[in-house]
């Protein structure tokens, strides 16, 4: 397995990123109260709109900010349970990639030169993992309707 990763580092990192993102998204969807999170998201959108309308009323603005903070804290606590379940597979995958690919190895070069970095500037496995997992996560959350 490590041999395949060293031969195809970019593709291997993408596949591992996709697998972990699918796993994380599914676990998040089924270990959180999606109806509650959707209601929180809608309420926060409403509060933001009200905050824009009450820029000149400091008292109401403070009240809205307090309500927004309370809702955000509730959302954050909802995310702790899935984080516990997904931490071990993520740490195992990161350990595997760290051992299989040198951190200094560039596997995705920038299509442009960056001053003082030269033409060999780019992302290593961690940069590719982070970038691809953000993209995969956005797509999967939309498709699976995860809030």
Residue 147 and residue 100 share a domain: yes
Residue 143 and residue 103 share a domain: yes
Under the banding of pLDDT at 50, 70 and 90, the label for residue 147 is: confident
Residue 119 and residue 95 share a domain: yes
Under the banding of pLDDT at 50, 70 and 90, the label for residue 114 is: low
At 29 the pLDDT is: 94
Structural domain span for residue 101: 1-32+81-147
Under the banding of pLDDT at 50, 70 and 90, the label for residue 116 is: low
The mean pLDDT value of the chain amounts to: 89
User: Distance between CA atoms of 84 and 81, rounded to whole angstroms?
Assistant: 5
Asked if residue 118 has pLDDT above 70, the reply is no
Residue 138 and residue 94 share a domain: yes
Q: How much of the chain exceeds pLDDT 90, in percent?
A: 67
Burial status of residue 108 (CB atoms within 10 A of its CB: 0-12, 13-18, 19 or more): middle
Domain count, the chain: 2
Asked if residue 108 has pLDDT above 90, the reply is no
Q: How much of the chain exceeds pLDDT 70, in percent?
A: 93
Residue 144 and residue 107 share a domain: yes
pLDDT tens for 16-52 read 999 999 999 999 999 999 999 999 999 999 999 999 9
Buried/exposed code over 39-63 (b: 16+ C-beta within 10 A; e: otherwise):
ebeeeeeebeeebeeeeeeeeebee
At 105 the pLDDT is: 84
pTM over cut 0.85: no
Residue 99 and residue 61 share a domain: no
């Amino acid at each position: 397995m490590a041999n395949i990763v060293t031969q195809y580092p970019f593709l291997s990192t993408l596949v591992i990123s996709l697998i972990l993102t699918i796993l994380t998204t599914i676990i998040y969807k089924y270990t959180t109260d999606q109806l509650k999170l959707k209601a929180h998201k809608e309420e926060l959108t409403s509060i933001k709109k009200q905050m824009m309308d009450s820029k000149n009323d400091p008292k109401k603005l403070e009240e809205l900010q307090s309500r927004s903070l309370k809702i955000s804290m509730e959302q954050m606590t909802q995310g702790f349970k899935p984080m516990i379940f997904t931490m071990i597979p993520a740490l195992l995958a990161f350990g595997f990639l760290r051992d299989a690919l040198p951190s200094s190895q560039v596997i995705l070069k920038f299509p442009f030169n960056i001053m003082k970095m030269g033409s060999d500037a780019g992302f290593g496995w961690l940069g590719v993992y982070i970038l691809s997992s953000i993209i995969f996560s956005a797509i999967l959350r939309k498709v699976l309707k995860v809030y």
